Amino acid sequence: MDDTYLTISRTSEGIYKEKMSKFLAFAIPVTTVDEVKQELEKYQKEYYDARHVCWAYMLGHERTQFRSNDNGEPSGTAGKPILGQINSAGLTDILIVVVRYFGGIKLGTSGLIVAYREAAAEAIAANEIMERQVEDEVRFGFEYPLMNEVMRVVKEEGPTIVSQLFDMDCEMTLRIRRSRMENLKNRLSKIDGLHFFTET
């Protein structure tokens, strides 16, 4: 089971120049579409005087949520090459914005594709690529006398304790790497009287 993914650690910049056109690229860590929208708004405001502000993003550890935009460049010459670089590097939770300042000489379709691709590649190369783990949570309840048994499993399996409530009826939420969740649940399910909550 694949429970890791690659992403970037910070915002980074790249630059590519071709026939007096300047392409400024920014690789930005994001995790939601709302964050993408906020970042795009910021860059569109900051570079309001640029001819084009093109972009692509990829979200989620399964890499199924993505979009690209040519922002007025000929179809497929900007957003797709940017997205292509994200795919080549196998990255997710990333937005790449490429700002173009037109230098007066047209680059043609193939020239644009190369320019946007290279600018995006420069921004990625200037960053640090990190491997992150996919983690899942489990929530369960038990009566106080079972505390020692529960804590023994927690200590041995090593999950992160997200929340805990100790009373006559206790509750606990744990987070652990996805590939280790099944083992954790199996061990907990063997404690007589412990019950899992299903999230709705």
pLDDT 10s per residue in the chain (200 long)?
478 899 999 999 999 998 888 999 999 999 999 999 999 999 999 999 988 999 999 998 888 899 999 988 889 889 999 999 999 999 999 999 999 998 777 888 888 999 999 999 999 999 999 988 888 899 999 999 999 999 999 999 999 999 999 888 999 999 999 889 999 999 999 999 999 988 64
Contacts of 31 by beta carbon, 8 Å cutoff, 6+ apart: 59, 93
Q: Which H or E run contains 16?
A: strand 12-18
Q: What is the pLDDT of residue 200?
A: 47
The residue whose two tokens read 């429970």 is: 3
Could you give the C-alpha distances from 92 to 30, 50, 115, 158, 164, in angstroms and in order?
9, 27, 22, 27, 32
* 3-state class (DSSP) for residue 194: coil
Residue 79 CB contacts under 8 Å (≥ 6 apart), including other chains: 54, 55, 56, 67, 68, 69, 70, 71, 116
What pLDDT score was predicted for residue 7? 93
Looking at residue 78, its pLDDT comes to 92
Task: Report the pLDDT value the prediction gives residue 199, as an integer from 0 to 100.
Answer: 65
pTM: 0.77
Cα 97 to the center of its chain, rounded Å: 15
E strands of 47-143, at which residues? 52-59, 65-69, 94-101, 129-133, 135-143
